[in-house]
Amino acid sequence: MTDYGELNPPLRILMGPGPSNVHPRVLRAMSTPLVGHLDPEFLKIMDEVQELLRYVFQTKNQFTIPVSGTGSAGMETGFVNLIEDGDEVVVGVNGVFGERMSDIAGRCGGKLTRVEAEWGNIIPPEKIAEAVKGKKVKLVAVVHAETSTGAWQPLEEIANISHNAGALFLVDAVTSLGGCPVKLDEWGIDVCYSGTQKCLSAPPGLSPVSFNERARQVITSRKKKVQSWYLDMSMIEKYWGKERTYHHTAPITMVYGLREALRLIQEEGLENCFKRHELNHKALKKGLEKLGLSLHAHEGHRLWMLNTVRVPEGVDEARVRKRLLDEFNIEIGGGLGVLKGKVWRVGLMGYSSREENVLYFLHAMEKILDGEGWKK
Amino acid sequence: MTDYGELNPPLRILMGPGPSNVHPRVLRAMSTPLVGHLDPEFLKIMDEVQELLRYVFQTKNQFTIPVSGTGSAGMETGFVNLIEDGDEVVVGVNGVFGERMSDIAGRCGGKLTRVEAEWGNIIPPEKIAEAVKGKKVKLVAVVHAETSTGAWQPLEEIANISHNAGALFLVDAVTSLGGCPVKLDEWGIDVCYSGTQKCLSAPPGLSPVSFNERARQVITSRKKKVQSWYLDMSMIEKYWGKERTYHHTAPITMVYGLREALRLIQEEGLENCFKRHELNHKALKKGLEKLGLSLHAHEGHRLWMLNTVRVPEGVDEARVRKRLLDEFNIEIGGGLGVLKGKVWRVGLMGYSSREENVLYFLHAMEKILDGEGWKK
- The string of pLDDT tens digits covering residues B62-114 is 999 999 999 999 999 999 999 999 999 999 999 999 999 999 999 999 999 99
Q: Residue B33: CA atoms inside 13 Å, Cβ hemisphere, count?
A: 13
Helix, strand or coil, per DSSP, at residue B342: coil
Whether A14 and A199 have beta carbons less than 8 Å apart is answered as no
Res B373: pLDDT: 60
Residue B8 backbone phi and psi in degrees, to 5:
-150, 60
Q: Which of B303, B198, B209 is nearest to A249 (CA)?
A: B198
Number of structural domains found in chain B: 2
Question: Is the distance from CB of B168 to CB of B138 less than 8 angstroms?
Answer: yes
CA-to-CA distance for A250 and B217, rounded, in angstroms? 33
Report residue A217 CA to chain centroid gap.
Answer: 25
Q: What is the ipTM of this complex?
A: 0.98
A362 pLDDT higher than 90: yes
What is the Cα A253 distance to its own chain's centre?
A: 20
Chain A residues with CB under 8 Å of B11 CB are 33
Whether the pLDDT of residue A145 is over 80: the answer is yes
Q: What is the distance between the alpha carbons of residues B280 and B304, in angstroms, rounded to a whole number?
A: 8
Among candidates B69, B66, B77, which has minimal Cα distance to B256? B66
CB A193 within 8 A of CB A71: yes
- Tell me the per-residue pLDDT of A231-286, one tens digit each, with 9 for 90 and over: 999 999 999 999 999 999 999 999 999 999 999 999 999 999 999 999 999 999 99
> Which residues pair with residue B343 across a beta bridge?
B310
Q: Does the pLDDT of residue B45 top 80, yes or no? A: yes
Q: Rounded distance, CA B65 to CA B61, Å?
A: 10
Q: How far apart are CA A94 and CA A104, in angstroms?
A: 16
The DSSP symbol for A119 reads B
Contact B335, B372 (CB under 8 A): no
Based on the domain organization, do A239 and A329 belong to the same domain? no
Q: Which band of pLDDT confidence, cut at 50, 70 and 90, is reported for residue B297?
A: very high
Q: At what angle are helices B233-240 and B71-82 packed, to 10 degrees? A: 120
pLDDT of the residue at B370:
87
Cα–Cα distance, B59 to B211 (Å, whole number):
10
**Rounded to a whole number, what is the distance in Å from the CA of B184 to chain A's nearest CA?**
20
Q: Are residues B291 and B258 in the same domain?
A: no
Q: In the predicted model, is pLDDT for residue A118 greater than 80? A: yes
Is A221 part of the contact surface with chain B (CB cutoff 8 Å)?
A: no
Considering only CB atoms, A36 lies closest to which of B19, B35, B257, namely B19
The reply to whether A223 falls in a domain is yes
If you count residue pairs, one on A and one on B, with CB atoms under 8 Å apart, how many are there?
237
In chain A, positions 79-118, which contact chain B (CB-CB < 8 Å)? 80, 100, 103-104, 106-108
pLDDT tens for A82-104 read 999 999 999 999 999 999 999 99
A216–chain B nearest CA distance, Å = 20
> Is there a single domain that holds both residue B260 and residue B339?
no
Q: Is residue A376 predicted with pLDDT exceeding 70?
A: no
Angle between helix axes B270-290 and B355-370 (nearest 10 degrees) is: 20
Cis peptide upstream of residue A19 (ω within 30 degrees of 0): yes
Residue A238 placed within a domain: yes
In angstroms and rounded to an integer, the radius of gyration of the C-alpha atoms of chain B is 21
Q: So what's the pLDDT on residue B376?
A: 65
SS3 (DSSP) at B3: coil
CA atoms of A286 and A293, how far apart (whole Å): 9
Peptide bond into B19 cis (omega under 30): yes
Measuring CA to CA, which residue among A246, A276, A264 is closest to residue A353? A276
pLDDT surpasses 90 at A373: no
Q: Where is the domain boundary, A200, A231, A266? A: A266
Domain with B337 in it:
13-17+269-370
Does a structural domain hold residue B190? Answer: yes
CATH number, domain of A105, equals 3.40.640.10
A54 and A129 share a domain?
yes
Q: A266, A301, A333 — which closes off a domain?
A: A266
- On whether both A157 and A281 belong to a single domain, the answer is no
- Closest listed residue to residue B338, CA positions, set B121, B174, B162, B192: B121
| CATH number, position A331 | 3.90.1150.10
Residues A339-352: tens digit of each pLDDT: 999 999 999 999 99
A245 in B contact zone (CB under 8 Å)? no
B260 and B283 in a single domain? The answer is no
A102 and A233 belong to one structural domain: yes
Amino acid of residue A8: N
Say yes or no: B320 and B173 in one domain.
no
Judge whether residue B61 has pLDDT over 90: yes
Report yes or no: B335 at the A interface, CB cutoff 8 Å. Answer: no
Rounded Cα distance between B122 and B142, Å, is 10
* Res. A199 pLDDT band, cuts 50 70 90: very high
Q: Is residue A1 part of a domain?
A: no
Mutate to test the interface with B, among A1, A3, A4 (most CBs of B within 10 A): A4
pLDDT over 90 for what percent of chain B? Answer: 98
Using the predicted structure, report yes or no on whether residue A375 has a pLDDT greater than 70: no
pLDDT at residue B257 tops 90: yes
Asked whether residue A346 is domain-assigned, the answer is: yes
A299 shares a domain with A251: no
Q: Is A229 on the interface with B (CB under 8 A)?
A: yes
Asked whether residue A376 is domain-assigned, the answer is no
For A283-327, what is each residue's pLDDT tens digit? 999 999 999 999 999 999 999 999 999 999 999 999 999 999 999
Q: Collapse the DSSP code of B198 into the 3-class scheme (helix H, G, I; strand E, B; otherwise coil) and give the result.
A: coil
Within this chain, do residues B87 and B218 fall inside the same structural domain, yes or no? yes
Quickly state the pLDDT bin for A374 (edges 50, 70, 90). low
DSSP letters of B319-342? HHHHHHHHHH-EE-EE--GGGTTT
**CA A42 – CA A34 distance, rounded (Å):** 9
Quick one: residue A29, left, alpha or beta (phi over 0 = left, psi -120 to 50 = alpha)?
A: alpha
Residue of A nearest to B198 (CA): A249
Same domain, A223 and A309: no
Q: Is B39 left (phi over 0), alpha (psi -120 to 50) or beta?
A: beta
Q: What is the H or E stretch that residue A357 is in?
A: helix A355-370
Of A208, A238, A266, the last residue of a domain is A266
Q: Does A253 contact B256 at a Cβ distance shorter than 8 Å? A: no
Crossing angle between the packed helical segments A96-107 and A71-82, to the nearest 10 degrees: 40
pLDDT band, very low/low/confident/very high, at B374 (cuts 50, 70, 90): low
> Is A166 a member of any domain?
yes
Residues A218, A262 share a domain: yes
Does A215 reside within a domain? yes
